[in-house]
């Protein structure tokens, strides 16, 4: 018969969501890291008698070509903090971190197994994605100071465990609006690094809007010369990416397992283009540059051929420098485009995206204009009913879920939040967590959900610190909803796991919002 104290200790040691008990209280501390993973893996089997300690002579050993980039990512994180050389070598030779293939087929195209033995941490995966995801988990199993940019004191222990893991949804996205405020390549890379750590695999860049056109288009140079010269609030400068800078950003994301989805919003949200070229306006007159935050006042000229020459040139140039398969055409809030014109526009533009080899994604409004079941609507509404999205799901389209009152990262947390907007409501951390993407929209079932995306609009966001304050901790919330099995969805278990990220974010210099709803680890 167990003592009362032991029973209480055992109850406290249930690994969140896994149903696995750690059966020795003396081993509890070692297993703490296993209870602090975000997103929660599918299976976590602790081995309380085992601890792996990274040694100064440890190597990162590869027996899978897929693992090279993930190994480089891991080495770049651990070398500065541990001070160890951590050479990356082909072949499995002994002490260290082993990245190999031959994972259980249950892990699927993006999953992995992670096994900790006294001599090695072995990550098995059948794809490069799987290795990136396994590495993200290993980072959280190491002490938080492993994330430091300067040399720290060890020991660098990893608790004994066997993990088998794979995502609930393929699409786990984050969006950054670089149009309302422009963010430099360095700022964008910083955010890419932050989302990557939570197994986010799509990065959606909102590259054009009324306030700014942010990517060089060589055949239409005024788009950036004029349209990329200012932003909300009126700052001026070179507020755009050259094609080389964009290619570098895309490669940076790709080297971290992330696919960039470029968005050029049309036929509304187009003032920056219309300020750059007179011919894009029905009256042939350039619009003034706009530095305010209203929406819905601009529209491309639907019945001019030059509009489609412009759109085709943009799609052609962007597609040529975007290795990912998607082109996001916006399509939202076209309040100045009559409905019939909106349909006319989409009927001409959707085939152009196909012509250049890309799959169309867009804000959900566009889906009413097409029966193409490969097109991907991104739901951003605030209701749980949308007849057009439900009809598309019935036809077989897969939906990306971004309900604004749940995972728009620019919504204020509460009425005192200085940054952000509140048109979709106040979204505290628990609100962001308390919905089920697979049963949220009427008529859109789990099987019709491609995944989720957390957009960050930047009307009020100007710095990396601003980005981080709005994204943390809600971006990791979105990552959990997109990755972890629906069966582990439970706020009381999730909140401490989320709170355990606090020390890690402090070491990484992430300016997170320390919500009082979350029990932050000191």
Positive or negative: CA dihedral 419, 423, 424, 427? positive
Binding of ligand ACM by 333 (CB under 6 A): yes
237 half-sphere exposure, CB direction, 13 A CA radius: 9
Burial 313-332 (b: 16+ CB within 10 A, else e): bbbebbbeebebebbbbbbb
Nearest distance in Å: CB 449, ligand ACM: 18
Catalytic residue among 333, 365, 446, 468, which?
333
Nearest distance in Å: CB 440, ligand ACM: 17
Q: Shortest Cβ contact with ligand ACM: which residue?
A: 332
Nearest distance in Å: CB 408, ligand ACM: 7
Nearest distance in Å: CB 171, ligand ACM: 17
Nearest partner of 66 among 154, 20, 143, 131, judged by Cα: 131
Calpha distance 48→58 (Å, rounded): 22
Answer yes or no: are the C-beta atoms of 101 and 66 closer than 8 Å.
Answer: yes
Binding of ligand ACM by 363 (CB under 6 A): yes
Calpha distance 37→54 (Å, rounded): 20
Element at 59 (helix H, strand E): strand 59-62
Q: Which is nearer to ligand ACM, 256 or 269 (CB)?
A: 269
The interface with ligand ACM within residues 63-102 (CB under 6 A) comprises none
Calpha distance 502→482 (Å, rounded): 21
Calpha distance 353→328 (Å, rounded): 9
Q: Which is nearer to ligand ACM, 80 or 381 (CB)?
A: 381
Nearest partner of 321 among 217, 238, 222, 224, judged by Cα: 217
Binding of ligand ACM by 27 (CB under 6 A): no
Residues 6+ apart with CB under 8 A from 309: none
Binding of ligand ACM by 422 (CB under 6 A): no
446 is an active site residue: no
Nearest distance in Å: CB 329, ligand ACM: 12
Q: Which is nearer to ligand ACM, 321 or 421 (CB)?
A: 421
Q: Which is nearer to ligand ACM, 220 or 363 (CB)?
A: 363
Nearest distance in Å: CB 263, ligand ACM: 10
Q: Which is nearer to ligand ACM, 44 or 261 (CB)?
A: 261
Answer yes or no: are the C-beta atoms of 339 and 275 closer than 8 Å.
Answer: no
Tell me how many helices (H) and strands (E) the chain has. 17, 17
Site string for ligand ACM, 368-407 (x = CB under 6 A): ------------x---------------------------
The interface with ligand ACM within residues 428-467 (CB under 6 A) comprises none
Binding of ligand ACM by 332 (CB under 6 A): yes
Calpha distance 14→493 (Å, rounded): 10
Q: Which is nearer to ligand ACM, 27 or 332 (CB)?
A: 332
Given the structure tokens 């955010």, which residue do they identify? 191
Residue 400 in 3-state DSSP?
strand
Q: Which is nearer to ligand ACM, 269 or 358 (CB)?
A: 269
Query: What sections of 396-463 are H helices per DSSP?
Result: 404-407, 429-433
Nearest distance in Å: CB 407, ligand ACM: 12
Q: List, by residue number, the catalytic residues.
A: 333
- Note the residues at the interface with ligand ACM (CB under 6 A): 332-333, 363, 380
């Amino acid at each position: 018969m167990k003592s009362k104290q032991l029973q209480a200790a055992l109850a406290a040691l249930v690994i969140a969501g896994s149903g696995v008990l750690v059966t020795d209280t003396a081993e509890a501390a070692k297993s703490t890291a296993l209870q602090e993973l975000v997103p929660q893996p599918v299976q976590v089997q602790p081995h309380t008698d085992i601890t792996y300690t990274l040694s100064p002579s440890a190597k990162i050993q590869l027996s899978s070509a897929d693992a090279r980039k993930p190994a480089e990512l891991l080495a770049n994180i651990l070398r500065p903090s541990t001070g160890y050389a951590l050479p990356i070598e082909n072949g499995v030779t002994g002490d260290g971190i082993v990245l190999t293939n031959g994972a259980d087929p249950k892990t699927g195209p993006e999953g992995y197994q992670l096994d900790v033995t006294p001599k090695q941490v072995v990550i098995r995966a059948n794809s490069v994605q799987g290795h990136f995801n396994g590495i993200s988990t290993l980072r959280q199993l190491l002490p938080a100071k492993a994330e430091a940019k300067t040399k720290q004191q060890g020991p660098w222990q990893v608790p004994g465990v066997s993990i088998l893991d794979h995502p609930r949804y393929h699409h786990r996205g984050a969006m950054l609006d670089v149009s309302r405020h422009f963010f430099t390549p360095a700022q964008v890379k910083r955010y890419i690094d932050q989302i990557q750590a939570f197994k986010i695999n799509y990065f959606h860049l909102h590259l054009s809007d009324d306030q700014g056109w942010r990517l060089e288009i060589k055949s239409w140079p005024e788009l950036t010369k004029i349209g990329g010269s200012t932003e909300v609030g009126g700052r001026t400068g070179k507020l755009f990416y050259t094609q080389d800078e964009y290619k570098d950003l895309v490669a940076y994301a790709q080297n971290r397992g992330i696919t960039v989805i470029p968005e050029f919003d049309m036929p509304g949200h187009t003032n920056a283009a219309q300020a750059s070229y007179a011919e894009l306006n029905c009256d042939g007159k350039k619009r003034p540059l706009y530095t305010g935050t209203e929406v819905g006042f601009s529209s491309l000229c639907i019945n001019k051929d030059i509009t489609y020459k412009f759109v085709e040139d943009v799609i052609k140039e962007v597609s040529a420098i975007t290795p990912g398969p998607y082109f996001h055409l916006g399509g939202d809030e076209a309040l100045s485009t009559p409905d019939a014109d909106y349909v006319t526009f989409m009927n001409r533009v959707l085939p152009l995206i196909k012509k250049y080899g890309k799959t169309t994604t867009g804000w959900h409004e566009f889906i009413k204009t097409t029966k193409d079941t490969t097109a991907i609507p991104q739901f951003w509404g605030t209701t749980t009913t949308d007849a057009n999205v439900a009809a598309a799901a019935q036809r077989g389209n897969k939906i990306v879920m971004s309900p604004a009152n749940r995972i728009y990262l620019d919504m204020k947390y509460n009425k005192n939040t200085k940054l952000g907007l509140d048109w979709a409501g106040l979204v505290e951390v628990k609100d962001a967590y308390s919905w089920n993407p697979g049963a949220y929209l009427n008529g859109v079932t789990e099987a019709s959900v491609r995944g989720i995306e957390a957009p960050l609009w930047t009307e009020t966001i100007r710095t990396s610190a601003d980005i981080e304050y709005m994204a943390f901790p809600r971006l990791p919330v979105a990552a959990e909803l997109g990755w972890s099995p629906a069966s582990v969805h439970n706020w009381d278990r999730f909140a401490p796991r989320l709170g355990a990220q606090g020390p890690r974010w402090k070491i990484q210099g992430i300016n997170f919002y320390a919500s009082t709803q979350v029990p932050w680890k000191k």
